C-alpha cells in the first residue's frame, strides 16, 4: 500500500544536524534550501521539535543532493 512507502514521520534534532553535515550546509545554507529563517533552522538543530513537512523536505534534499 502507498502509505507503507512513506518515510517515517519522526525526524529528530540529531537527524537534522546529521543531514546538515551530510549536505555540507551551514545554518544560512540550510535556511536558504528550506526557505526558513536562520533562527528557525538553529532552533531545529538544537532542540525544537521538527515539523513533519520540514523533516520530509530535508529527506528530499538528502535523496536528491547529487541530481542538482
User: What percent of the chain stands above pLDDT 90?
Assistant: 76
Write down the pLDDT at residue 65.
87
Write down the pLDDT at residue 10.
84
Pull the grid cell for residue 21: 553535515
Indicate the range of 12-16, 45-49, 62-66 predicted with least confidence: 62-66
Instruction: Tell me how far apart the alpha carbons of residues 30 and 18 are, in angstroms, rounded to a whole number.
Output: 12
Contacts of 16 (CB under 8 A, 6+ apart): 44, 45, 50, 55, 58
Write down the pLDDT at residue 24.
97
* Structural domain spans, the chain: 20-68
pLDDT above 70 for 7: no
Picking from 61, 52, 67, 68, the residue whose alpha carbon sits closest to that of residue 7 is: 52
Cα angle, residue 61 at apex, residues 55 and 62 outer, rounded to 5°? 90
Mean pLDDT, all residues of the chain: 91
Amino acid at each position: 500500500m502507498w502509505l507503507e512507502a512513506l518515510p517515517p514521520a519522526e525526524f529528530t534534532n540529531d537527524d537534522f544536524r546529521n543531514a546538515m553535515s551530510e549536505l555540507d550546509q551551514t545554518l544560512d545554507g540550510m535556511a536558504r534550501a528550506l526557505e526558513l529563517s536562520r533562527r528557525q533552522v538553529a532552533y531545529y538543530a538544537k532542540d525544537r521539535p521538527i515539523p513533519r513537512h520540514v523533516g520530509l523536505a530535508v529527506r528530499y534534499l538528502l535523496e536528491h543532493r547529487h541530481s542538482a
